[in-house]
Structure 1
Amino acid sequence: MIGAGWAGCAAAVAATRAGHAVTLFEAAAEPGGRARNVSLPDGLQLDNGQHILIGAYSACLQLMQELGVNLHDALLRLPLDLRTPDGAGLAMPSPAGHPQIDVLRAVVNAGGWNWRERFSLLRTAARWQWQGFKAPDSASVLDACRGLHPRILQDLVTPLCVSAFNSLPENTSGAVFLRVMQDALLAERGGSDVLIARTPLGDLLPRPATRWLRDQGASVHCGLRVRYLTRTGDGNWHLDCAADDDTLPLPQFHQVILAAPAREAARLTSGISPSWSAMAQSLQHMPIATTYAWCENAAENLPPMQALRDTPERPAQFVFCHKDRLRPTPAGRTARLLAFVTSCCDLERETLEQAIRLQAQEQLGLKNLDIIATLIDRRATFVCSPALQRPPASVAPGLHACGDYVEGPYPATLEGAVRSGLAAAAALATSAP
């Protein structure tokens, strides 16, 4: 197993449960991939970027429970609320009945929309349902949303698209968007609920998974990069690992699951399957920036997740208020940890932080932000564009791939990564050489 992100951890756990002898290699010192723990010099533990889960992430939630995570204690569950500070936008009610009824209630009660705007959303949603929430592969989100009032595009579709896909509607697959909308809003009660981690994300799945694997006798090697992957004449696989001790024997395996990021997976497979490697290499990626700050005058009524009005000059789309992450100030007050999320971010760190300060003051009335870190993931997500050809899960006989970018029904989400990992582990049983 190469890679201990959420996909690799899921694959390793499932393969171990299926009776396979598992060895897991991770180049970084910390498991978790793009949703891992980061330690600041003062010892503060943060996520490498602010992430959320939603109630429809059934594979993630089930795996966490199986690893002993108490979901009630670990996750704060809230109805989806996309209202900006001026009150405009849609907020889902607490689940009380059929999901369709909850969505209808949310549309009727949405703030800042007139009845013409609401009707355009209801009419378009009815068309989506009549079409089975399907769209041509070549359709963008804008194509799928034809007929929607521009205000609905601005207040609902764009925030959903940016938060779920990290891309703008015109650059995003309409077919995948509708699938996500159906699963999140209509498939089950509470499917659209936002789940915010009360602890760093690494403590939700990657760390429990690696502890569980070691307890089951699996070998877990963090801080050990696989430099080369080669096929031997007898059909096995050799892994050349970057280790301080060059006298270590080359590990040999019957089957390999490649759970590395797309660019690293492309490098490792360039001499094995050039076509697969080229497909992985060709994926376009978009950055996400998370700006963490202490704020002692954070309003008591600031919700755990607050949508913001973003512009090129005020770029953050959301701010998260971690009310259980507190720090005393020299004046005897209490500062709360805030996380401002800027998707599709192309600003330099200093420019971004200055813009965040102004946006916090203008839209939230928050002054004197003590910014402690801005973490920018330049390759946070692949662009799930219309008609995108994603690498398949099978690379070569005995070599499988998993990750949120591998061919599948979802965009670059934690749920997509976990489901991909589970599918890769299931494939081991049917494709042994």
Structure 2
Amino acid sequence: MRVAVIGGGWAGLAAAVRACEAGHQIELFDMAGQPGGRARSLPPDEAGLRLDNGQHILIGAYRRSLALMRHLGLAPEAALLRLPLRLRYPGHEGLRLPPGAALPAFVRGVLACRRWPWSARLGLLLGATGWLLRGFRCAPELSVAELCQGLPQPIKDELIDPLCVAALNTPAAQASASVFLRVLHDALFSGPGSSDLLLPRRPLSELLAEPAQAWLLGQGAVLRLSQRVQSLTRSAEGGWQVDGQAFDRVILACSAAEAARLSFPLAPAWSAQAGALHYQPIITVYLQHPGPAWPAPMLALQEGPQAPAQFAFDLGQLSAEAAGRSAWVISGAAPWVERGLDAAAEAVRLQAQQELGWTEAPTLIRVLAEKRATFACTPGLQRPPAAIAPGLWAAGDYVEGPYPATLEGAVMAGEFAAANL
């Protein structure tokens, strides 16, 4: 069949690769000049510096993403630094999971975390046991804060809140507890290595976007970059017209807003559901710093009124070319977007200097904001289904599924759409 894939992010690329692999003729459209969507690298600047459009990480449970990378000829073992889950703060060690079977490793890691008093450690183990006995399910209207209200405060401050904002990009008071439990289950309890952190050693576009582009072109697919699709209509023969071109099937792998626009005349109810999603921004601040190597390549941070970043990455520990460079991430960043990117960058510079004890403030390289980084993963949220109309599918991290807006969710959605053509 002739298949149009509209959108070249991770969902669209996954859909295009799997559909092409199944023998279909693929034409991929993307309004950007390069594939990758919200998980790509920016063009090099005048000095040759190539930054990502935001700091991303993967985890060991991202099995579909890792399998797709291998299919495209990339070795994740070389492209990603794999580390056991470790919430290392600048001044102390947080939870650190040892290698081994998931459940024993979690128990051993909690019991060994001397930062927390014994009462807090036992409280966490009791709470996690309750989640396990309930199959990691809860009422859909519960927030993460309500789910965890009985946990000791140190656990909420140094484990639940950082994991929630990192995974769902939504503060615990506003985040869906049922989705959070699913993430915890698959990350912490779905097998050895599932909770491992996978930190990119290469520019983000080299992980998927560029290998997928090369693979698709090698298979005879057509990529139409810098081309925004204007119209999608039913053809008289039962297929589809994409800007006047005939196709048998269409996968909308663009943003939810674009998919809502294109699908409105064809499926107004689906369009309204996709168009009603709310979003959370992410700000990434890139700094150049003179200080020594950090205690870990990724640090968790205590968020505060004047300390916006929740995680920081020493990029020099991931690539020799990035020596002295770091990325500081503000998730759920709506309050700081309102205050302005200059204010956010300055607050992060001061936060970095204070947290790491530098004698002088680091130099700002660039501040980037993805204002619609992820949908707001709130309790009871009804996400649009993958099926829009016969022969028309949606693929994106926002469609109905078990995960919040993640790279793995995008790949899974793309492969699901391709499998159902």
TM-score (norm 1): 0.92
Q: Give 1:282's aligned residue.
A: 276
Query: Partner letter of residue 118 of structure 2?
Result: W
Q: Give 1:149's aligned residue.
A: 152
- Local SS of the residue matching 2:25: coil
Q: Give 2:264's aligned residue.
A: 270
Q: Give 1:365's aligned residue.
A: 357
Q: Are the aligned partners of 1:295 and 1:335 in contact in 2 as well (CA < 8 Å)?
A: no
Q: Give 1:122's aligned residue.
A: 125
1:215 is matched with which residue: 218, 221, 229? 218
Distance, in Å, in 2 between the alignment partners of 1:65 and 1:232 is 38
Query: Partner letter of residue 215 of structure 2?
Result: W
2:75 is matched with which residue: 70, 73, 97? 70
1:204 is matched with which residue: 197, 204, 207? 207
Aligned 1:26-425 pairs, distance under 5 A: 26-42=30-46, 43-87=48-92, 89-93=94-98, 95=99, 97-240=100-243, 250-297=244-291, 299-323=292-316, 324-325=318-319, 335-345=323-333, 346-347=335-336, 348-366=340-358, 367-425=360-418
Task: Quote the sequence identity (%).
Answer: 48
Q: Please, which runs of 5 or more residues in structure 1 have no aligned partner? A: 241-249, 328-333, 429-433
Aligned-pair CA distance for 1:278: 0.8
Aligned-pair CA distance for 1:392: 0.5
Matched, 1:25 2:29: yes
Q: Are the aligned partners of 1:325 and 1:337 in contact in 2 as well (CA < 8 Å)?
A: no
Q: Deviations over 1:35-56 (max 9, x none)?
A: 0110243231111100000011
Q: Are the aligned partners of 1:88 and 1:155 in contact in 2 as well (CA < 8 Å)?
A: no
Aligned-pair CA distance for 1:86: 2.5
Q: Are the aligned partners of 2:241 and 2:247 in contact in 1 as well (CA < 8 Å)?
A: yes
Distance, in Å, in 2 between the alignment partners of 1:398 and 1:263 is 20
Distance, in Å, in 2 between the alignment partners of 1:159 and 1:119 is 20
Q: Are the aligned partners of 1:326 and 1:336 in contact in 2 as well (CA < 8 Å)?
A: no
Query: Partner letter of residue 399 of structure 2?
Result: V
Q: Give 1:8's aligned residue.
A: 12
Q: Are the aligned partners of 2:7 and 2:28 in contact in 1 as well (CA < 8 Å)?
A: yes
Q: Please, which runs of 5 or more residues in structure 2 have no aligned partner? A: none
The range that moved more, 37-46 or 6-15, is 37-46
The range that moved more, 375-384 or 264-273, is 264-273
Distance, in Å, in 2 between the alignment partners of 1:378 and 1:199 is 24
Query: Partner letter of residue 336 of structure 1?
Result: G
Query: Partner letter of residue 342 of structure 1?
Result: I
Aligned-pair CA distance for 1:89: 2.6
Query: Partner letter of residue 345 of structure 2?
Result: E
Aligned-pair CA distance for 1:88: 5.1
Q: Are the aligned partners of 2:80 and 2:200 in contact in 1 as well (CA < 8 Å)?
A: yes
Q: Are the aligned partners of 1:326 and 1:337 in contact in 2 as well (CA < 8 Å)?
A: no
Aligned-pair CA distance for 1:11: 0.4
TM-score (norm 2): 0.95
Aligned-pair CA distance for 1:111: 3.7
Equivalenced residues, count: 410
Query: Partner letter of residue 118 of structure 1?
Result: R
4 and 341 in structure 1: CA distance in 2 versus 1, 3 angstrom threshold: same
Q: Are the aligned partners of 2:353 and 2:362 in contact in 1 as well (CA < 8 Å)?
A: no
- Local SS of the residue matching 2:89: coil
Query: Partner letter of residue 325 of structure 2?
Result: L
The range that moved more, 210-219 or 110-119, is 110-119
Distance, in Å, in 2 between the alignment partners of 1:143 and 1:419 is 29
Aligned-pair CA distance for 1:301: 3.6
Aligned-pair CA distance for 1:200: 1.1
Aligned-pair CA distance for 1:173: 1.2
Flag as ranges the 4+ runs of structure 1 deviating above 4 A: 324-327
Q: Are the aligned partners of 2:350 and 2:361 in contact in 1 as well (CA < 8 Å)?
A: no
Q: Are the aligned partners of 1:2 and 1:259 in contact in 2 as well (CA < 8 Å)?
A: yes
Give the aligned CA root-mean-square deviation in angstroms.
1.3
The range that moved more, 39-48 or 275-284, is 39-48
